[in-house]
Chains A and B, each alone.
Chain A
Amino acid sequence: MAIAVFFIAAAVAILGGVGVVSFHQPIRSVLSLVLVMLALSVIFLLLGAQFVFAVQIIVYAGAVMVLFLFVIALLGPARELGRGRLRYQGWASAVFVLVLLGLMWTMLQGVQYRQPDKTDLNFFGTVQSIAVGLFTTYLYPFELTSILLLVAAIGAIYLSRKRIDESEGGPAEGLRPSAGVGGNLPPHQT
Chain B
Amino acid sequence: MSTLNIGGSQLDASWFLLLSAVLFGLGAIGVLVRRNPLVILISIELMLNAANLTLVAFARQLENIEGQLFALMSMTVAAAEAVVGLAILVDIFRVRDAEDIDDLSELRG
Q: Which residues of B contact A51 (CB under 8 A)?
A: 68, 72
The 8 A CB mask of A72-83 against B (1 = contact, 0 = none) is 101100111100
B99 near A6 with CB under 8 A, answer: no
Task: Tell me which of B29, B65, B71, B72 contacts A124 (CB under 8 A).
Answer: B65
The dominant DSSP class at the B interface is helix
A129–B63 alpha-carbon span in the complex (Å): 12
Cross-chain contact of B38 among A21, A26, A114, A155 (Cβ < 8 A): A26
Alpha-carbon distance A93/B26, docked complex (angstroms) = 11
Would B62 and A133 count as touching, CB distance under 8 A? Answer: no
Known contacts A40-B49, A64-B82, A85-B102, A14 near B23 by CB under 8 Å: yes
Are A155 and B68 closer than 8 Å at their CB atoms?
Answer: no
Q: How large is the interface on A (under 10, 10 to 19, 20 to 34, 35 or more residues)?
A: 35 or more
Q: Complex: how many Å from CA A36 to CA B13?
A: 20
Given the complex, which residues of A lie within 8 Å of B91, measured CB to CB? Answer: 159-160
Q: Which residues of B contact A85 (CB under 8 A)?
A: 100, 102
Chain A nearest Cβ from B34, distance in angstroms? 7
B contacts with A, residue count (CB < 8 A): 75
Chain B CB within 10 A, most for which of A20, A21, A71: A21
Assembly CA distance A111 to B27 (angstroms): 23
Contact partner, B59, options A49, A56, A153, Cβ 8 Å: A49
CB-based contact A148/B25 at 8 Å: no
- From B1, which residue of chain A is reached at the shortest CB distance? A113
Verify B26–A14 contact, CB threshold 8 A: yes
Known A80-B34, A114-B62: A21·B84 in contact at CB below 8 Å: no
Knowing that A21-B34, A159-B84 are A-B contacts, what are 16 other residue pairs whose CB atoms are under 8 Å apart, sorted by A's residue number?
A21-B30, A26-B42, A37-B49, A52-B71, A56-B52, A60-B49, A64-B78, A71-B86, A89-B32, A90-B33, A97-B28, A108-B17, A138-B66, A145-B77, A148-B76, A155-B84
Q: Can you report 23 A-B residue pairs in the complex whose CB atoms are below 8 A from each other?
A: A1-B9, A18-B26, A20-B26, A26-B42, A40-B52, A40-B53, A51-B68, A52-B68, A60-B75, A60-B78, A63-B79, A67-B82, A68-B38, A75-B90, A79-B99, A90-B33, A94-B29, A97-B29, A117-B64, A149-B76, A155-B83, A156-B86, A159-B91
Q: Which residues of A contact B (CB under 8 A)?
A: 1-3, 6, 10, 13-14, 17-18, 20-21, 26, 29-30, 33, 36-37, 40, 43-44, 46-49, 51-52, 55-56, 59-60, 63-64, 67-68, 71-72, 74-75, 78-81, 84-85, 89-90, 92-94, 96-97, 100-101, 104-105, 108, 111, 113-114, 116-119, 121, 124-125, 129-130, 132-134, 138, 141, 145, 148-149, 151-153, 155-156, 159-160
Sort A-B residue pairs by CB-CB distance and give the 7 closest, nearest first: A93-B32, A152-B80, A17-B26, A159-B87, A113-B2, A47-B60, A156-B87
